[in-house]
Structure 1
Amino acid sequence: MAEPDPQRNFRSAYYEKVGFRGVEEKKSLEILLKDNPLDVEKLSTFSQRFPLPSMYRIHVWKVLLGILPSHSDSHTLVAGYRREQYLDILQALEVMRFVHSATPPTHVYLRMFQLESRTLPRRCDTTDPDEEDEDFLAVGRAMEEIADDPVDCYWLIKCFVNQFNNKFGDSIPHLPKSLEHYLSQEESRLLNHLKNMGALEQLPYNLWFRRCFAGCLPESSLQRVWDKVISGSCKILVFVAVEILLSYKIMLMGMNRPEGVVSFLCKIPQENTDAIVTKAIDLWHKYCGTPMHSV
């Protein structure tokens, strides 16, 4: 059995101490991405355990969402098909005059999604977006900041929304109760305060759980949360919400009107969200453990 490499161990410890813990993880991910076919389960497990390096995030998301197949030698061909399909749908919407050159990209993506899912309204029936459409648009605006290419952006939004609804749709109504449970474990005084003023049932659950914090967290923090959602966990959303409440405990404890609480939580300060997400992920691992599959 080979002796441990003290120099390598020192490097790993040093990298972690100075904030470069991702160096070793990046190497592990690069090894996984050389497999052909790609092991989707191992990629999912990696994404559950570690933040994805930004240079690989879009690629891994596309594999996990099924936009690209596990066989790497087919990626170029499939990417070409995805682009052709995108252009065909866009052209159809232009011919039907549902979109034009001045239509905001996120609204174009919404119409494309509706056309593909056979929910496109008749032009005479088009009205303001309903709540479900607004959820889609919020996710779309956030994804626009993460993915540069409009073709990638559309497919990521579409497959993210579909996967989320299909996989977690039945779980979403139960997430507020989960939040109440974990908040009672971490800070019962805050929970009781929110209950007593009538704010608990009015918390922005739709923003947090239906939109997966799109429009609440900046994209630099949001994508670390979406790593976990895309790789198979909607429970991470609960712990982000819990950590937001814990982070602003003093401020919330000083409020006595539920509308003030909701107004603040819908527009939390953006400067410390990375720390909030880091603590939320630690809390998630504390209560839910980490995946045990080997990576």
Structure 2
Amino acid sequence: MADDPQRNFRSAYYEKVGFRGVEEKKSLEILLKDNPLDLEKLSTFSQRFPLPSMYRIHVWKVLLGILPPHSDSHTLVGGYRKEQYQDILEALEVMRYINSSTPSTHVYLRMFQLESQVLPRCSETKPPYEENEDFLSISRAMEEIVDDPIDCYWLIKCFVTQFHTKFGDSIPHLPKSLEHYLSQEEPRLLNHLKTTRALDQLPYGLWFRSCFAGCLPESSLQRVWDKVISGSCKILVFVALEILLSYKIMLMGINRPEGVVKFLCNIPQENTDVIVTKAIDLWHKYCGTPMHAV
């Protein structure tokens, strides 16, 4: 399919007249008609192109294993997921870990802890703070993207689980990777960050452990998560890189590390779509584009 001359001609035409997404949407619709779904092709599509919003949640659920590859089982499995959600919720209510006033993100955390067998003793339970902030940040962001609480919980749970299973060993190395690419793109800025001792204090937790939840608005964040869910944590490095490049002039004028961190933790929200687009371009530039047929 990737080598089809007619498809390549149509793609070039659509892109020229400003309708690039039309052809991509058609390609995805063809992939979604497969039974069983080809997870490798869906992953490759998500790496190469932005997911159309109408299909994003469905593709995420398939790639995260919430729904199986066999489409004819989706309704049945969806019913099981709903029942399991209700059972966990009721168990936590009976054990008095949650009640009607518990914030939904804290409910999701307790559900996740129960399923992961790390639920604290009820007598030791206190409001979740720093040690759970990454989970709660991702939960808050997912709530803005997904309306249904059942889908929201399963997406949070499977996203967090997959992220740590696949990329847990890579996360500590991402700051060094960012330093390397910054040295390629803007060595003067890198030198300034080193000289002011800001480099070691950049908000790596916000960027890499929370996957930019709480940093980017959801409209931009979901395009980054497309890439993470489909198999790349390296995209996080390039989003961080593009944030630094986009605000280079501002950062070069700040000489105290705490000033750099404060600014980067509260970047302006109106320019984030452009930042993410440029970050994805840089990611493709350095890491290449997946070549599997889609």
With structure 1 as the length reference, what TM-score do the two structures score? 0.96
Structure 1 stretch 283-292 or stretch 3-12: which is displaced more? 3-12
Letter in 2 for 1:83: K
Following TM superposition, by how much is the alpha carbon of 1:13 offset from its aligned partner in structure 2, in angstroms? 3.4
Following TM superposition, by how much is the alpha carbon of 1:124 offset from its aligned partner in structure 2, in angstroms? 1.1
Q: Quote the residue 2:153 is aligned against.
A: 154
Following TM superposition, by how much is the alpha carbon of 1:133 offset from its aligned partner in structure 2, in angstroms? 1.1
Take 1:36 and 1:26, find their aligned partners in 2: how far apart are those partners? 18
Following TM superposition, by how much is the alpha carbon of 1:217 offset from its aligned partner in structure 2, in angstroms? 0.1
Take 2:180 and 2:12, find their aligned partners in 1: how far apart are those partners? 40
Q: Quote the residue 1:241 is aligned against.
A: 240
The 1:250/1:79 distance shift into structure 2, 3 A limit, reads same
Letter in 2 for 1:210: R
Number of corresponding residues: 291
Alignment of 1:37-52 (within 5 A): 37-52=36-51
Find out whether 1:113 has 2:112 as its counterpart. Answer: yes
Take 2:59 and 2:220, find their aligned partners in 1: how far apart are those partners? 17
Following TM superposition, by how much is the alpha carbon of 1:151 offset from its aligned partner in structure 2, in angstroms? 0.3
Following TM superposition, by how much is the alpha carbon of 1:14 offset from its aligned partner in structure 2, in angstroms? 3.6
Find out whether 1:164 has 2:163 as its counterpart. Answer: yes
Deviations 1:68-123 (A, max 9, x none): 00000000000000000000000000111111111111000000000000111111
Following TM superposition, by how much is the alpha carbon of 1:21 offset from its aligned partner in structure 2, in angstroms? 1.8
RMSD across aligned C-alpha pairs, in angstroms? 1.6
Take 2:259 and 2:80, find their aligned partners in 1: how far apart are those partners? 49
Which consecutive unaligned segments of at least 5 residues does structure 1 have? none
User: Are the counterparts in 2 of residues 240 and 281 from structure 1 also a CA contact under 8 Å?
Assistant: yes
User: Are the counterparts in 1 of residues 141 and 214 from structure 2 also a CA contact under 8 Å?
Assistant: yes
With structure 2 as the length reference, what TM-score do the two structures score? 0.96
Letter in 2 for 1:245: L
User: Are the counterparts in 1 of residues 106 and 128 from structure 2 also a CA contact under 8 Å?
Assistant: no
Following TM superposition, by how much is the alpha carbon of 1:10 offset from its aligned partner in structure 2, in angstroms? 7.1
Alignment of 1:114-193 (within 5 A): 114-193=113-192
Q: Quote the residue 1:287 is aligned against.
A: 286
Following TM superposition, by how much is the alpha carbon of 1:4 offset from its aligned partner in structure 2, in angstroms? 5.1
User: Are the counterparts in 1 of residues 47 and 290 from structure 2 also a CA contact under 8 Å?
Assistant: yes
Alignment of 1:1-295 (within 5 A): 8=10, 11-16=13-18, 20-295=19-294
Take 1:67 and 1:150, find their aligned partners in 2: how far apart are those partners? 14
Take 1:3 and 1:140, find their aligned partners in 2: how far apart are those partners? 43
Following TM superposition, by how much is the alpha carbon of 1:8 offset from its aligned partner in structure 2, in angstroms? 4.3
User: Are the counterparts in 1 of residues 11 and 20 from structure 2 also a CA contact under 8 Å?
Assistant: no
Take 1:259 and 1:133, find their aligned partners in 2: how far apart are those partners? 24
User: Are the counterparts in 1 of residues 171 and 208 from structure 2 also a CA contact under 8 Å?
Assistant: yes
Take 1:106 and 1:195, find their aligned partners in 2: how far apart are those partners? 37
Letter in 2 for 1:127: K
Take 2:99 and 2:77, find their aligned partners in 1: how far apart are those partners? 27
Take 1:210 and 1:128, find their aligned partners in 2: how far apart are those partners? 21
